[in-house]
């Protein structure tokens, strides 16, 4: 057995040789060995008694796993539109030139590779990048020059200036959640005092809806899980905040982790779950140590583990799993597949996770913010919580504000706040367009800024990207289309092909080769994606294109060769050479212009 095999064996054993731990095993093996060689995949497959194809399939699915050698320094620039607006493309080109490496390639000596990745959740302090998986923020020319020198000198990343890795919360507006006082265990004690049914009743009265985007009523989810067959229930926290422009969960995990974990424990109290899993996006792996520390403190305080707060039979603990760069895993069933150590392919529903989720067990999957909000309900009661916001959207909402504004950051508002109010507060007097809800969300033009952030008007998982008149709505939409084409999991043909076609049409328009009929084709692809996609990624992929096409049509039309131009093809003329070679020039060798062969 060589060193690589010995390391893989140790990692697999640490994970109890559980196939459901495959993704975690691959992440750790790559960390130890640099990349996942064919040999190490074979070895891991044998140790887990899994088909090698399954292991290779998982390794090939996630962007942050490499089955080929990559640089000892892996630098991935965040490629969200807000990073581009801050000059990320020039910075990437500058770094590549300085290190003599082509974008997307590894330097010949294996020292460094530089590439792009999808949004890293640092839009309020970009441009950002990941260096060996750890976020570096506020990139500018001097910092990029320093990074190039550190790489050349082969200074280990942990010895780089800590300032590079500083991630600020940038909380700009506080309300009930961000401004409240919280003592660990307080919310749990209040919920336990009400009993399991009484606590669920408070949740029902609060009408809390999921903050991850779908807006499903949390109490209904919890009740379905509680009532489902099977004793081994599970609570999953979806901390895979991958929607471009969203970063509010990052702030909650950084400074409100106790509330998030207490929310998970409240869900366990309601449902009877004994196991908790947090799925943390790979881009936030720098938070892993901190989150584990918070869990350890909670365990020591009797807030996790056996007999929580002295209650016999209330046993619950939480484990953290890492993602590895797959946006689709934010979809709850894809996330469950990933937690089970598989490719993140969305499942067919029903059955819903509440009845058949993680490893077939009844599972509650809630977003980070949703779980943190549950602590407010335990403390204030459902009625007090529901008194804020609107009839269908109770409580407050955290918004991740970025782009052309004076104060990017996290803002907490009661649901129902107008877009105009948010723009005023963040200092964006010249905003022309706002993308609410991220790449899959809604594009609003200035005449819609009176609209309200709420499930009944403009729903949002949290992203709020601001664009002024200097920005090109077409380029914003094109960036999002590239994102979806990259992130499509490839499971269903309409999305796999449709997102790729959409990208092709947008690139064609960008190159000045487009015609009016391309715009009609884009609308046709939109219908295809909306009607035939297996999951929300495919159906929402064209949203920004269609919105900008309707609301900012000149941005598209000025790229067309001519509004009247109709591409055509003269088949008869094209066949002239063939006629000459075959010596034919009779009527049957010609098209008559009607599409009929001449007679
Ligand atoms: Fe995968 Fe796209 Fe199909 Fe969803 S719609 S399952 S992301 S291919």
pLDDT in tens, 62-78: 999 999 999 999 999 99
Q: State the total domains in the chain.
A: 6
Same domain, 443 and 347: no
Range of the domain at 248: 173-386
Sole residue written with tokens 């990933």: 338
Among 240, 537, 540, 543, the mutation site with the greatest number of ligand 1 atoms within 8 A of its Cβ is 537
Pairwise CA distance, residues 478 & 472, whole Å: 10
The reply to whether 524 and 382 lie within a common domain is no
Inside any domain, residue 562: no
Nearest CA-CA partner of 23 in 74, 72, 57: 57
Nearest CA residue ID for atom 5, ligand 1: 538
Q: 535 CB under 6 A from ligand 1?
A: yes
Asked whether residue 262 falls in the same domain as residue 327, the answer is yes
Of 136, 168, 200, which residue sits at a domain end? 168
Nearest ligand 1 atom to the CA of 490 is: 8
Which atom of ligand 1 sits closest to the CA of residue 533?
A: 5
Judgement on whether residues 258 and 380 belong to the same structural domain of the protein: yes
Distance from Cα 340 to the centre of ligand 1, integer Å: 19
pTM of the entire predicted model: 0.93
279 forms beta bridges with 238, 321
Q: Are residues 467 and 488 in the same domain?
A: no
Whats the size of the chain, residue-wise?
A: 599
In the three-class reduction of DSSP (H, G, I as helix; E, B as strand; rest coil), residue 393 is classed as coil
The token duo for 488 is: 């499509």
Q: Judge contact between 560 and 509, C-beta under 8 A.
A: yes
Comparing CA positions, the residue from 91, 102, 73, 72 lying closest to residue 137 is 91
In a domain, 588, yes or no: yes
Residues 281, 240 contacting (CB under 8 angstroms): yes
Domain endpoint, select from 168, 199, 215: 168
Looking at the structure, do residues 583 and 489 belong to the same domain, yes or no?
Answer: no
pLDDT digits (tens, 9 = 90+) for 404-417: 999 999 999 999 99
143 and 199 inside one domain = no
- 64 is a domain residue: no
- Among the residues of 237-286, which ranges form H helices? 248-255, 257-271
Q: Report the C-alpha gap between 476 and 441 in whole angstroms.
A: 13
Which of these, 464, 463, 543, 455, lies nearest to 498 by C-alpha position?
543
For residues 310 and 286, membership in a common domain is answered with yes
In angstroms, rounded to a whole number, what is the distance separating the alpha carbons of residues 7 and 17? 14
**If you measure from the C-alpha of residue 350 to the centroid of ligand 1, how many angstroms do you get, rounded to a whole number?**
17
DSSP secondary structure string for all residues of 475-541: HHHHHHHHHHHHH--SSSHHHHHHHHHHHHHHHHHHTT---HHHHHHHHHHHHHHHHH-SSHHHHHT
What is residue 286's three-state secondary structure? helix
| 66 occurs within a structural domain | no
Indicate whether residue 499 lines ligand 1 (CB < 6 A).
no
How far, in Å, CA of 36 to CA of 447, rounded? 52
Are residues 297 and 327 both part of a single domain? yes
Q: Is residue 97 part of a domain?
A: yes
Q: Please write down the long-range contacts of 416-420, taking CB distance under 8 Å and 24 or more positions apart.
A: 416/389, 416/390, 416/452, 416/453, 416/454, 417/452, 417/453, 418/449, 418/450, 418/451, 418/452, 418/453, 419/444, 419/448, 419/449, 419/450, 419/451, 419/452, 419/453, 419/458, 420/449, 420/450
What are 130's strand-pairing partners? 76, 135
The answer to whether residue 564 is domain-embedded is no
490 C-beta closer than 6 A to ligand 1: yes
Q: Are residues 116 and 163 in the same domain?
A: yes
| 216 & 330 share domain | yes
Query: Is residue 127 a part of any domain in this protein?
Result: yes
- Using the Cα atoms of residue 191, residue 194, residue 198 and residue 202 in order, give the sign of their dihedral: negative
Distance CA 536, CA 328 (A): 9
Last residue of one domain, picked from the residues 455, 471, 487: 471
CATH code where residue 406 lies: 3.10.20.600
User: Could you tell me if 416 and 548 lie in one domain?
Assistant: no
Residue 391 falls within a domain, yes or no? Answer: no
Decide: 329 in ligand 1 pocket, CB within 6 A: no
Q: How many CB atoms lie within 10 A of CB 486?
A: 16
How far, in Å, CA of 381 to CA of 490, rounded?
A: 44
CATH number at residue 541: 1.20.1440.230
- Encode the chain (599 residues) as per-residue pLDDT tens digits: 788 889 999 999 999 999 999 999 999 999 999 999 999 999 999 999 999 999 999 999 999 999 999 999 999 999 999 999 999 999 999 999 999 999 999 999 999 999 999 999 999 999 999 999 999 999 999 999 999 999 999 999 999 999 999 999 999 999 999 999 999 999 999 999 999 999 999 999 999 999 988 899 999 999 999 999 988 999 999 999 999 999 999 999 999 999 999 999 999 999 999 999 999 999 999 999 999 999 999 999 999 999 999 999 999 999 999 999 999 999 999 999 999 999 999 999 999 999 999 999 999 999 999 999 999 999 999 999 999 999 999 999 999 999 999 999 999 999 999 999 999 999 999 999 999 999 999 999 999 999 999 999 999 999 999 999 999 999 999 999 999 999 999 999 999 999 999 999 999 999 998 988 999 999 999 999 999 999 999 999 999 999 999 999 999 999 987 767 777 788 888 889 999 999 988 888 888 655 455 44
Report the distance separating Cα 380 and Cα 175, nearest Å.
14
């Amino acid at each position: 057995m060589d060193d690589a095999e010995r390391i893989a064996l140790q990692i697999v054993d640490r994970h109890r040789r559980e196939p459901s731990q495959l993704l975690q095993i691959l992440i750790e093996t790559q960390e130890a060995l640099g990349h996942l060689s064919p040999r190490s995949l074979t070895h891991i497959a044998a140790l887990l008694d899994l088909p090698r194809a399954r292991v290779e399939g998982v390794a090939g699915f996630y962007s942050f796993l490499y089955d080929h050698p990559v640089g000892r320094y892996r630098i991935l620039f965040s490629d969200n539109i807000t990073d581009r607006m801050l000059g990320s493309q020039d910075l990437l080109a500058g770094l590549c030139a300085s290190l003599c490496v082509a974008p997307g390639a590894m330097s010949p000596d294996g020292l460094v590779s530089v590439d792009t990745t999808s949004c890293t959740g640092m839009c309020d302090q970009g441009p950002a990048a990941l260096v060996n998986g750890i976020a570096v923020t506020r990139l500018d020319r001097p910092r990029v020059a320093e990074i190039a020198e550190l790489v050349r000198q082969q200074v280990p990343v942990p010895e780089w200036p800590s300032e590079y890795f500083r991630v600020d919360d940038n909380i700009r507006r506080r309300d009930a959640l961000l401004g409240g006082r919280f003592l660990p265990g307080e919310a749990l004690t209040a919920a336990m005092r009400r009993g399991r049914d009484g606590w669920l009743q408070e949740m029902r009265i609060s009408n809390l809806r999921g903050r991850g985007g779908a807006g499903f009523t949390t109490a209904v989810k919890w009740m379905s899980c509680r009532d489902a067959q099977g004793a081994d229930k599970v609570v999953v926290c979806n901390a895979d905040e991958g929607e471009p422009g969203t970063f509010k969960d990052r702030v909650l995990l950084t400074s409100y982790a106790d509330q998030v974990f207490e929310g998970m424990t409240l869900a366990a109290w309601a449902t009877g779950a004994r196991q908790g899993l947090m799925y943390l996006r790979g881009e936030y792996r720098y938070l892993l140590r901190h989150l584990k520390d918070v869990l350890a403190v909670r365990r020591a305080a009797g807030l996790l583990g056996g007999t929580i707060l002295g209650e016999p039979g209330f046993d619950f603990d939480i484990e953290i799993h890492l993602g590895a760069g797959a946006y689709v895993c934010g979809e709850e069933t894809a996330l469950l597949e990933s937690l089970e150590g598989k490719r993140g392919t969305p499942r067919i529903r029903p059955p819903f996770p509440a009845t058949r989720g993680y490893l077939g067990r009844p599972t509650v999957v809630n977003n980070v913010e949703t779980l943190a909000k549950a602590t407010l309900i335990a403390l204030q009661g459902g009625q007090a919580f529901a008194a804020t916001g609107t009839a269908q959207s109770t409580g407050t909402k955290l918004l991740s504000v970025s782009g052309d504004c004076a104060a990017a950051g996290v803002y907490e508002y009661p649901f129902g706040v107008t877009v105009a109010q948010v723009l005023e507060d963040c200092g964006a007097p010249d905003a022309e367009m706002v993308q609410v809800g991220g790449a899959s969300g809604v594009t609003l033009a200035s005449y819609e800024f009176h609209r309200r952030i709420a499930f009944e008007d403009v729903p949002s998982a949290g992203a709020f990207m601001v664009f002024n008149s200097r920005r090109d709505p077409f380029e914003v939409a094109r960036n999002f289309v590239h994102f979806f084409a990259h992130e499509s999991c490839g499971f269903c043909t309409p999305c796999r092909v449709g997102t790729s076609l959409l990208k092709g049409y947008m690139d064609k328009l960008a190159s000045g080769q487009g015609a009016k009929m391309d715009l009609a084709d884009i609308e046709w692809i939109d219908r295809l994606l909306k009607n035939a996609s297996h999951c929300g990624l495919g159906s929402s992929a064209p949203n920004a294109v269609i919105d900008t096409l309707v609301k900012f049509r000149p941005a598209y039309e000025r790229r067309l060769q001519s509004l009247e131009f109709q591409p055509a093809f003269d088949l008869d003329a094209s066949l002239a050479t063939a006629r000459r070679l075959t010596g034919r020039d009779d009527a049957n060798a010609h098209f008559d212009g009607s599409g009929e062969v001449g007679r």
